[in-house]
Structure 1
Amino acid sequence: MTALHFLRNVPIQRKLSLVIMAACALILVLACTALFVFESHMLKKTFARDLATLAEVVAATCTGPMAFHDKKAAEEMLGALKGRPQITAAFISSPDQKMFARLAAGEKFHSVEVFPRQQGSHYEGNDLFLSQPIMSDGEVLGVLRVRANVQTMHHDLLKLYAGMLSVVLAGSLLLSFLLSMRLQKIISVPILQLAGTARSIAQHKDYSVRAISLGRDEVGLLTDDFNLMLAQIQTQDDALQGARQELEQQNSALHASESKYRSVVNNVKEVVFQTDAAGRWILLNPAWVEITGFSIEESLNQNLRDFVHADDRAADQEEIQMLLQRREESFRHEVRYLTKGGGFRWVEVYARLATGTDGAVLGITGMLHDITERKLAQAELETLNRQLIATSRQAGMAEVATSVLHNVGNVLNSVNVSTTLVAEQVKKSKVANLAKAAALLNEHAADFGAFITTDPKGKQLPDYLAQLARHLQAEQVTLLNEMDQLRKNIEHIKDIVAMQQSYARVSGVTETLKISDLVEDALRMNAGALTRHDVEVVREFEEIPLVTIDKHKVLQVLVNLIRNAKYACDESGRADKRMTVRVANGEGRLKIAIMDNGVGIPMENLIRIFNHGFTTRQEGHGFGLHSGALAAKELGGALIVHSEGPGCGASFTLELPLDPASGNAGQPAPKSAEAQGTKNL
C-alpha cells in the first residue's frame, strides 16, 4: 500500500521510465527463465541420451564377463563410467535380480530391490535412472543399472544464466532507461503541456485558453476532449458571468430601487400601509405620524377600524370586507381618520388585496392621502360658487334688465315718434279754417240764402266746407292710427315689463312650459340688439313635448349665449351675419344649440373657455359662460362648445336630461353629476 501510494506520487516521466524498465526487465527475466528451463530440459535430455549411449557401450563390453561370470572383469568394465562425475551409482544385476558387479566408486546398494525396475531411462527429480540390458545372441545376460544426478549441472547452468542475465539485464535496463528518457517525452510532454494548460486556466480563470494537440493518439484525443470540455466550460462560464453580471446589476438595481423605495416611502406625504388578514397594521411609514399624530410603534398591531371616525366606520368596514371576500380588486373612498389630539383628518383611502404566492390572502395594502385641505377648499369653493351663482344671477338679471330697458327704449322711441306726428298733425290741422267758416256764416246768418247764392264768398263756401271736411276726416284717420300705434307701443312696454317681472322671480322654481316659447322669450330679450347689429336669426325648432324646467336658469343661460353669438357675429365684420337657434330631442336629451358664423374660437381657448374669469372681450367680466356651465350642471345637463377655429364660427349646445314619459327636463342634478364640455363642462 505504501509502495502504491509512493508510485501514485511519482512524476509521470519517472513512472513511464519505471514502466518501460520494468517491462524490459520482466521480459528479460521471463525470456531467460524460459531459456533456462529449455536449456535445463535439453541438458537433461542430452545427458540422458549420452548416458544411454555410454551405457550401451559398457553393456556391450560386459557381455563377455557376464557370459563367463567374470565379476572382476565386469567391475573393470564399469570403471569406464567413472569419467562421468554425475554418475552416483552403477551396478550389473543378474537375470535373477541379484547384484553381480558394481561401480566401486559409486553409491553402495546392498540390494537390487531399492533400484527402480523400470527399463530405459527416467528422471526422478534431479536423479536419472537408466537400465540397459546386457544381451548376447538375444539372451539377456544381465542388466546394467546406472543412477546419475544432474543437480550440479543445473547449478552450473543456473550460474551461467544468472551471470548472463545480470549483465544483459543491467545493459538492457540502462538502454531502456536511456530510451525511455527519450521516448517518454512523446507521452509526457503532451500530458505535461495539458497539465500546464489546466494549471494556467485554474490560476488565471481564463477558459479561452486551449491545449495544443500533438497527435491523434489517446493523449491527443484526451487533449481534444479537454478542449471540448473547456469550450463547454467557457460557454457555461460566459453564461455564468453574464448571469452574475446581470444578477449584480439586478442586485444593484434592487438595492437602488429598495433605497429609492424606502426613501420614497419614508418621505412621501401619503401614508403607505399594510395590514394582516385580521385588519391589524403591520406596516406604516412616517407620514402616518404627521397626519394622525400617533406614533408608528403604538399603532402597529392595532386594528385599523379603531382609527376610523365612528360615522365612517361601517362604510369603511363594508369596503374592506368586499375586498377580503374578493368581490372587488380594489377600492377608493374618502373617510375621516382620528388624530391623537381628538380631532380628525379627511383621508382618501386607496386599498387593494395583498396575496401570497399561493394565492392566500395576506391582508390589505394601499395608501392614505390627506385631503383635509382639499375638503376645506371644496367647502370654501362651494360657498364661493353659491356666491358666484348669486352674483352671476344678479349680473344676468342686470343684463336682462339692460336688454329690457333697451327694448322699452326702442318702444318709447316709437311712442315719441307717434306723439310727434300727432303734435305736427294737430299743428297743421284745418280746424282753424273751420272756425273762420263758422264766423263767416254767423256774420251772414240773417241773409244766409242771399249770401250763399249771390255773394262770391258765399258761393265758394259749400265747396270749401266739403274740402275742409275731407281734410278733417284724413286728419282724424291719421290721428286715430297714431293713437292706435301709441296704444300698441304702450301695451308692448307693459308686456316687456311683465316678462321681466316674470323672469325676475326666485330661481329654483320649476314650471311646465313649451321650450320653444322660452327660446323665443330669450330671443325677444335680445331682439333690439340683434336688429341693431343686422344679425339674421334662423330658427330650427323640432316638436318637443311640454317640459318641466327651471325657467329662470335656462333663460339666463340662453340670453347669455345669444348675446355672445351676437357679439361674435358683430366682431367678424361679415355682411351676412347669421345666428341659428336649434331645438332638438337627441337620444332622450333636450338640446338647445346657438350657432353663429362669427369670429370662431382658437383651439387653445376651447380648453379654458368655461374657466372663471376667462374672457376675450375687453368689456367682458369672464363669468357668464362659467356661471352658465355651473347652471347647466345644476340642471343635470352640460354646456358644450365646438369650433373649427378662428373665422369658422362657434356653437354652444345646452344639453338637458329629458324623460319623455314624465316630460321632465332640466331638473337639479345629483351632486355626483359632472359638468362637461368640448371643452365640455
Structure 2
Amino acid sequence: MVHHKLKEQFKRHGIDSAGLPSAWLEELSYAFEEHEARQAVYEQQRHAMMTLIENASELICSLNSDYRLTMFNSAFKRIVEARLGGKVRFGASLREMLDPVRDDCWLADLERAFRGETFTAVRCVSFDGGSYWLTASYHPVKRENRVEGVTWYAQNITEQKLAELSLTDSENRYRTLVNQIKEVIFQTDAQGLWTFLNRSWTEVTGFTVQESLGQPFLDYVHPEDRERNTLLFLPLIRREKEYCRHVVRYVTKDGGYRHVEVHARLTLDEEDRIVGTSGTLTDITERTELEESMLRAKEEAEKANRAKSVFITRMSHELRTPLNAILGFSQLLQLSEPRLHPEQLDKTEEIIHAGEHLLALIHDILDLSRIEIGKLPLELTSVDLEQELRDCMGFVKPLAEEKRVKLQLTVQEAEICVRADRVRLKQVLLNLLSNALKYNRPGGAVSLHLARDAAEGCTVRIEDTGLGIREEDLPSLFEPYTRFHSMTGVEGIGVGLSISKHLVELMGGTISVESRLGEGTAFLIRWQGNPHPRKDECREEAE
C-alpha cells in the first residue's frame, strides 16, 4: 500500500502512481516512512538539546565567521545585557558590542578561537555593582580546515574563585606570620626528616631551609646530646605523653652550637597513625648563659660569704680574749686597795660599760656568722610564752623607767606553749623590747599581746608608740647592718633584727612588721601548727 503522503507528493509533481510497479511503490513507501521516523527523532533530540541549553546555568552562544550571534541561551542574554547595557539579538555582532579597551581580553580570546585554537580561560567581569569570575571555553567550528564559527560557553566560578583567593590570602598571611615568628617552627615525617622549617631556622643555626629539608633532624642535634634527646622523645613516641619539652644543643653552620628548648607533639593521620612530629625550637642561649653566669656569681658570693663568716668568727674569738682581760682588770681596779678616787672610778666604769657594749656587739656578729654558715645549735623544748614575756619585761623594766615608757602585757589565753630554744627566744624578745623602748618617746607605751590563732597557731605582738618606719624602708628592715634611726644616737650596728628573724625561722616561726611613720611600730611573731602542750607539761619538760 502506497503511503498517503507519498501519493500527495506524486500528485503535486503530476506523477501517476498507478502506472508504477507495485514493488517500487512499496519500497518508496518504506523509505519515506523511515525518513519521517528519523526526522521525528531528530526534531525530538533537537528540542531536548535546545531546552537543555536554554535552561543551563552556564552562558552558551555560537558565532559565525563574522562574529555574529547565531545562537545563545537565556543565561548568556541576561549576563551580557547586564554587562553591556543593551539588548542582545540574533545576528548581532559581538565584536561591535564589546568595548575595545574594557573588553580587550575577551576580544583577544575570540581572535585566538577564530585562529583555530581550542582553549579555556578564566576571566573576571564586572556588572550590577559586583565582580564575577567565569571560566570560558572556546571551540572553533571547522569545515575543510577552515574556521566557520565558534561555540562558546562559560561557567560562573565566583564562589570557587573567592574561596581560592581567600585560601591563598590566608596562606600568605600564615606564611608571613610563621616567617616573622622568632621561634623555629618545624615539621618532620615519620622517619624524622625535616618537612617544614620557617626562616628562623636559618637565623638560629645558619643552615638554609633548602639545604636542611629532607635531612634527619637528629643530624643537627649536638653529638653529645643525641642519645639524651632520643630518650626524651621516647615517651612521646610511645604516646605516654601528649608533648615533650626539653633543652638540647643544636649545632650551627659555623661549627658552634646553640642552646635550644624543644617543644614537640605528634602528627597523626585520619587513622590515628603517627606520620611525624611538629613543634617549635626556641633559642635560649642568652638565657642559659645568663643563668650559668648568675649561678657562678651566686656560688662565688656564697663562697665569699662563708669565708667572711669564718673570718669574723675567728676575729671574734681573737677580740674577745683581750677584751675579757680589759674588763677583768677594770673590775679589779674598782675593787683594789687603796680605793680609787671618784673621778678614777667614773673612768673605770666607762671602760667597763664600753667593753661590755663591744662584747655584746661581738656576740651579735658571732651569732650572725654562725647563722649564715649554718652552725648555730638550737635546743628545742616546750616554752611557756607568757612566762617568757613576763621574765623579759622584768629585765627591761629599769630601761622602761629610765625612758618613762609604760609596759603592759595582754594574754588572751593562758597555757600557750611552743617548741623553741628558750635562750634564743629570750634573746629575740629582749631585742624587740629593747628596740621598742630605745626608739620610743617619753611618756609612750609598749604593749605586748599573746593570743592563739584560729589555725592552731599563736602570735606574739610587740607594739610601741615611737618614731615609726617609712614604708619604703620596711622591705630592707631585716637585712644585716641596717639602721634607720642612727640619728637618734642609739648604740648598735644593725644586726639585731636580722639575727631575730633567722632565730625565729630556725624555731619554726615567722616574724613580720607593721609601721606608720610618726605613730609607731609593731612586730609580730607567729607559730603555725606548732604543738601547744599544757602548762604543766611545759614546766615538767623545763625541769
Structure-1-length-normalised TM-score: 0.35
Please state which structure has a larger fraction of its residues in helix. Answer: 1
Higher strand residue share? 2
Structure with max Cα Rg: 1
